[in-house]
């Protein structure tokens, strides 16, 4: 999962009102709730465009006036101008009120700001801030799997809200030179006293501010201050320059640690070849859906007894948990074809890397064109780095396909979308060196 590097962002989440379950009949209109300003409609349109650009995960996006509707109307976002005295002329300051059917919560009001020389640029910046930072963990909770670079947590991971299950969004930085990747596994949300345990959806915001060699951490819960305010935080070395890092998380369920025999139960289910998962002999390219969503995953999601949780979520249709379970099972002594079957199910559910891994596993037992057809299509449609490296290598060597060095170079150029440290990129670079005749 690649961290986001979105632009200028300051976000504040505010909870207003009592706990409600919103439905079409009870959802308040923005004109009566916050006051509908003339600028709200173009901002809603900008947010709609930002979300539409992520349609693989979000699905159809509908904008009606100041309201953005998603998931066939189950998730609604309403926009209102909340400009405050002292806001600079080049700042757009809006609130986005979010509510979802079937998810008990307070009214989650995301305060977002965008910068730019023109109103259009400010609105677009604000929309990207909302869609790329605050929205991913919320969408992931509603859909039941990590999407748009969000990560799941059971409650005991470093990045978790301790003791609860939920999702954490990407880390976003502003200011001095910050290695965002160094924050991905950091405990932004540790040691927060007094967290409510009421089954409602809560949104937690962590802000780190550099203070000349150390960080100050402030935590807000549903927009309200907590006991963690300007507290010294030293998990990651601070930059001497002025800088800020922000992260959001959502939670609503207390974690229930798995029983001691949970992992063995999961392995027995795989050995029994349950019909929802088996047979698993289809070619990935023939079963993958039209839409390949922007799934995220956690390599720790299915460790130990969590494997049973992942298997249950996979059966219910979570591509990410299928994928994470397969990764966890790729070790000596694991049931076969457990990983391959789980990768194939992840592929059926729209996880591009699931298709790539299922095809790679198929290479070990089948001598047909399926794997290469899958690599080619996944590279073309999703730009999956390993699919591009595998197909580019075949083109470079003429392995199962006509040798075509020129096309190999074009394909391998897509292998480094996750950065130079990604093994897929390093593999592609090695193939390119062989084409150039260099060691």
- How does pLDDT run across 103-122, given as a tens digit for each residue? 888 667 777 778 888 888 98
Looking up tokens 């507290």 gives: 231
Helix (H) or strand (E) holding 346: helix 338-348
Q: Residues 27, 99: contact at Cβ < 8 Å? A: yes
Secondary structure (DSSP) of 265-319:
HHHHHHHTT-TTT----S-HHHH--S----B---TTTT-TTHHHHHHHHHHTT-H
Secondary structure (DSSP) of 125-142:
HHHHHIIIIIHHHHHHHH
Q: Residues 439, 433: contact at Cβ < 8 Å? A: yes
Residue 438 has pLDDT above 50, yes or no: yes
Instruction: Tell me the average pLDDT across 3-12.
Output: 28
Q: In the prediction, which pLDDT does 113 show?
A: 78
Residue 15 has pLDDT above 70, yes or no: no
Q: Can you list the alpha helix ranges (DSSP code H) found in 38-150?
A: 40-52, 55-58, 119-129, 135-143
In terms of pLDDT, which residue wins out, 91 or 324?
Answer: 324
pLDDT band, very low/low/confident/very high, at 329 (cuts 50, 70, 90) = very high
Q: Residues 94, 87: contact at Cβ < 8 Å? A: no
Q: In the prediction, which pLDDT does 83 show?
A: 55
Q: Residues 371, 359: contact at Cβ < 8 Å? A: yes
In terms of pLDDT, which residue wins out, 337 or 127?
Answer: 127
Radius of gyration in angstroms for the set of CA atoms belonging to the chain, rounded to a whole number: 23
pLDDT band, very low/low/confident/very high, at 21 (cuts 50, 70, 90) = very low
- Distance CA(137)–CA(159), nearest Å, equals 13
Q: In the prediction, which pLDDT does 439 show?
A: 63
Residue 90 has pLDDT above 50, yes or no: yes
Average pLDDT, the chain: 84
Q: In the prediction, which pLDDT does 96 show?
A: 85
pLDDT band, very low/low/confident/very high, at 437 (cuts 50, 70, 90) = confident
Q: Residues 184, 159: contact at Cβ < 8 Å? A: yes
Residue 253: CB partners within 8 Å, gap ≥ 6? 164, 165, 166, 199
> Which has the closest alpha carbon to 224: 199, 258, 256, 192?
192
In terms of pLDDT, which residue wins out, 35 or 188?
Answer: 188
Q: In the prediction, which pLDDT does 392 show?
A: 96
pLDDT-above-90 percentage for the chain? 54
Q: Per the structure block, which two tokens stand in for 135?
A: 């929205």
- DSSP class of residue 229 equals S
Residue 9 has pLDDT above 70, yes or no: no
Specify the range with the lowest mean pLDDT, choosing from 182-186, 191-195, 264-268, 333-337. 333-337
Per-residue model confidence as pLDDT tens digits over 166-197? 999 999 887 767 788 888 889 999 999 989 99
Cis status, amide bond into 38, omega within 30 of 0: no
Instruction: Tell me the average pLDDT across 205-210.
Output: 91
Provide the β-strand partners of residue 63: 68
Residue 145 has pLDDT above 50, yes or no: yes
Rounded to an integer, what is the distance from CA 92 to the centroid of its chain? 26
Instruction: Tell me the average pLDDT across 15-36.
Output: 30
Residue 14 has pLDDT above 50, yes or no: no
Measured CA distances, 380 to 13, 210, 373, 384 (Å): 39, 42, 11, 8
Residue 26 has pLDDT above 50, yes or no: no
Per-residue model confidence as pLDDT tens digits over 383-409? 999 999 999 999 999 999 999 999 999
Q: In the prediction, which pLDDT does 137 show?
A: 94
- Give the Cβ contact number of residue 400 at 10 Å: 16
């Amino acid at each position: 999962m690649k961290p986001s590097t979105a632009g200028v962002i300051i976000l504040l989440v505010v909870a207003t009102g009592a706990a409600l379950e919103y439905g079409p009949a009870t959802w308040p209109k923005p004109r009566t709730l916050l006051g509908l300003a003339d600028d709200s409609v173009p901002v809603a349109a900008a947010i709609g465009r930002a979300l539409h650009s992520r349609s693989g995960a979000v699905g159809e996006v509908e904008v009606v006036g100041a309201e953005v509707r998603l998931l066939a109307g189950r998730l609604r976002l309403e926009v209102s101008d909340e400009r405050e005295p002292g806001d600079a002329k080049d700042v757009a300051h809006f609130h986005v009120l979010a509510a979802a059917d079937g998810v008990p919560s307070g009214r989650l009001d995301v305060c977002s700001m965008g910068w730019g020389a023109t109103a259009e640029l400010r609105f677009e910046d604000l929309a990207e801030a909302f869609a790329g930072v605050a929205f991913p963990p919320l969408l992931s909770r509603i859909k039941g799997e990590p999407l748009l670079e969000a990560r799941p947590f059971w409650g005991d991971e470093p990045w978790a809200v301790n003791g609860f299950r939920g999702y954490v969004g990407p880390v976003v930085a502003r200011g001095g030179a910050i290695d965002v990747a160094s924050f991905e596994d950091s405990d932004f949300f540790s040691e927060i006293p007094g967290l409510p345990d009421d089954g409602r959806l809560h949104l937690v915001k962590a802000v780190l501010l550099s203070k000349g060699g150390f960080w100050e951490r402030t935590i807000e819960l549903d927009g309200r201050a907590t006991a963690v305010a300007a507290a010294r935080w030293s998990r990651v070395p601070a930059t001497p320059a002025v800088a800020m890092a922000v992260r959001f998380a959502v939670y609503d369920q207390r974690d229930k640690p798995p029983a001691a025999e949970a992992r063995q139960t999961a392995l027995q289910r795989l050995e029994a070849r349950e019909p929802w998962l088996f047979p698993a002999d289809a070619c990935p390219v023939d079963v993958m859906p039209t839409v390949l969503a922007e799934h995220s995953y956690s390599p720790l999601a299915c460790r130990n007894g969590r494997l049973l949780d992942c298997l249950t979520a996979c059966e219910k249709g979570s591509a990410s948990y299928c994928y994470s379970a397969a990764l966890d099972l790729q070790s000596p002594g694991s049931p076969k074809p457990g990983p391959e079957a789980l990768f194939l199910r992840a592929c059926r559910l729209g996880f591009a890397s699931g298709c790539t891994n299922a095809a790679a596993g198929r290479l070990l037992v089948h001598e047909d064109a399926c794997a290469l057809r899958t690599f080619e299509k996944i590279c073309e449609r999703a730009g999956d780095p390993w699919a591009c490296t595998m197909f580019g290598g075949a083109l470079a060597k003429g392995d199962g396909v006509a040798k075509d060095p020129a096309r190999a170079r074009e394909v391998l150029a897509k292998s480094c979308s996750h950065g130079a440290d990604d093994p897929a990129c390093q593999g592609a670079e090695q193939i390119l060196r062989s084409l150039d005749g260099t060691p």
